[in-house]
């Protein structure tokens, strides 16, 4: 039987799909291998970690490494500390940046464009340039060894997040804001009742970014926090790094535990990235 044009097209598609699948599998294995290395190391004994040639799978699966890790330092306390900082930072970033972005996008005022350009230009300054002046500033404020240096800046906006949210607000039709104004709403009310619900996907993005930043922050706490009772998880992990030797198996186990919420969060919020809200005022 002679093959029709459509049959040959279908076969071609099948082959292409198979090739794609194999390539993607290979790629994901490549990207997963460091994670596997972490998991595998976390379950080995210290002797096996150091053995040569290295083993890909642990000879013995030492699950109690995780319990030992958790008990090696007051990780319960560190978790509470980290969670506190992270929540405050996320709340600050989401609310303040959203509010500022609403203003830049929807309230016309003199010098708005110039001001926005100045805000954006702060993105050009590398963080390390301001590190020492900032330290001096916080030291003068008497904020060393407190969480203020870690939390308060989050309530003063960040250029990138403002930019991101402003772009999102630009897609909200002006008429919608004007309609609300006509109905007697203040800008604050409109931001709260219309702005926030309509920019949820962008807010979720900002929340995830700032969660990640705060949760994984090592330099901030290292600089500003000395009291062991104020340590965060990232600082806590340092107990396994001795001056002579590092307990790699415990460090990896601890790192995995600390990493877990971040991974879970990504799974949970993924739909917000995809979904998006139709902003055409209920249009098509």
Partner 1 sequence: MAKLILKNINKQYDKAVNTNAVTDFNLQVKDGEFIVLVGPSGCGKSTMLRMIAGLEEITSGEFYLDGKLMNDVPPSNRNISMVFQNYALYPHMTVYDNMAFGLKIRKTNKKEIDRRVREAAEILGLQDLLNRKPKALSGGQKQRVALGRAIVREAELFLMDEPLSNLDAKLRFQMRAEIAKLHQRLGTTSIYVTHDQTEAMTMASRIVIMKDGVIQQVGTPKEVYDFPENVFVGGFIGSPSMNFFNGEIVDGRFISEGFDMKVPDEKLAMLKAMGYVNKKVVMGIRPEHIELQNGEVGACYELLRAKIIVSELTGSDMLLYSSIGPQEFIAQVGSRTIVSPGEEVLLGFEMDRAHFFDFESGKRIKAYDSKQLADAPEKAYAAEPVLRYV
Which C-beta is closer to partner 1: that of 54 or that of 197? 197
Q: Are 46 and 175 in contact (CB under 8 A)?
A: no
Smallest separation, CB 186 to partner 1 (Å): 7
Which C-beta is closer to partner 1: that of 113 or that of 243? 113
The residue with tokens 């402003």 is 166
Which C-beta is closer to partner 1: that of 49 or that of 105? 105
Smallest separation, CB 201 to partner 1 (Å): 12
Angle subtended by helix axes 159-170 and 200-216, to nearest 10: 170
Smallest separation, CB 91 to partner 1 (Å): 21
Which C-beta is closer to partner 1: that of 28 or that of 174? 174
Smallest separation, CB 202 to partner 1 (Å): 14
Smallest separation, CB 177 to partner 1 (Å): 9
Q: How far is Cα 91 from Cα 111, in angstroms, rounded to an integer?
A: 28
Smallest separation, CB 187 to partner 1 (Å): 10
User: By CB under 8 A, how many residues form the interface with partner 1?
Assistant: 24
Residues 254-283 that bind partner 1 (CB under 8 A): 277-283
Smallest separation, CB 113 to partner 1 (Å): 16
Which C-beta is closer to partner 1: that of 43 or that of 176? 176
First vs last Cα of the chain: how many Å apart? 47
Residues 93-112 that bind partner 1 (CB under 8 A): none
Residues 168-227 that bind partner 1 (CB under 8 A): 173, 175-176, 178-186, 189, 193-194, 197-198
Which C-beta is closer to partner 1: that of 187 or that of 261? 187
Which C-beta is closer to partner 1: that of 105 or that of 150? 105
Which residues in this chain contact partner 1 in the complex, by CB under 8 A?
A: 173, 175-176, 178-186, 189, 193-194, 197-198, 277-283
């Amino acid at each position: 039987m002679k093959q029709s044009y459509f049959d040959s097209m279908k076969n071609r598609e099948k082959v292409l799909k198979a090739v794609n699948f194999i390539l993607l599998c290979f790629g994901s294995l490549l990207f997963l291998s460091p994670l596997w290395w972490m998991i595998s190391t976390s379950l080995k004994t210290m002797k096996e970690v150091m053995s040569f040639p290295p083993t890909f799978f642990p000879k013995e699966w030492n699950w109690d490494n995780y319990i030992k890790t958790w008990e090696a330092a007051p990780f319960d306390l560190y978790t509470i500390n980290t969670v506190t900082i992270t929540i405050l930072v996320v709340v600050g970033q989401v609310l303040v940046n959203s509010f500022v972005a609403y203003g830049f996008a929807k309230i016309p005022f003199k010098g708005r464009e110039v001001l926005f350009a100045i805000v954006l230009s702060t993105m050009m300054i590398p963080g390390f340039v301001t590190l020492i002046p900032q330290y001096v500033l916080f030291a003068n404020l008497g904020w060393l060894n407190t969480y203020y240096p870690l939390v308060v800046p989050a309530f003063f906006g960040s250029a990138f997040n403002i930019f991101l949210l402003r772009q999102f607000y630009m897609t909200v039709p002006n008429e919608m804001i004007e309609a609300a104004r006509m109905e007697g709403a203040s800008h604050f009310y409109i931001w709260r009742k219309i702005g926030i619900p309509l920019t949820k996907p962008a807010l979720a993005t900002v929340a995830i970014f700032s969660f990640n930043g705060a949760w994984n922050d090592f330099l901030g706490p290292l600089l500003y926090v000395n009291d062991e009772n104020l340590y965060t998880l990232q600082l806590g992990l340092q107990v396994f790094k001795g001056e002579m030797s590092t307990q790699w198996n415990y460090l990896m186990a601890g790192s995995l535990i600390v990493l877990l919420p971040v991974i879970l969060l990504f799974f949970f919020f993924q739909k917000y990235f995809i979904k998006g809200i139709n902003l055409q005022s209920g249009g098509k």
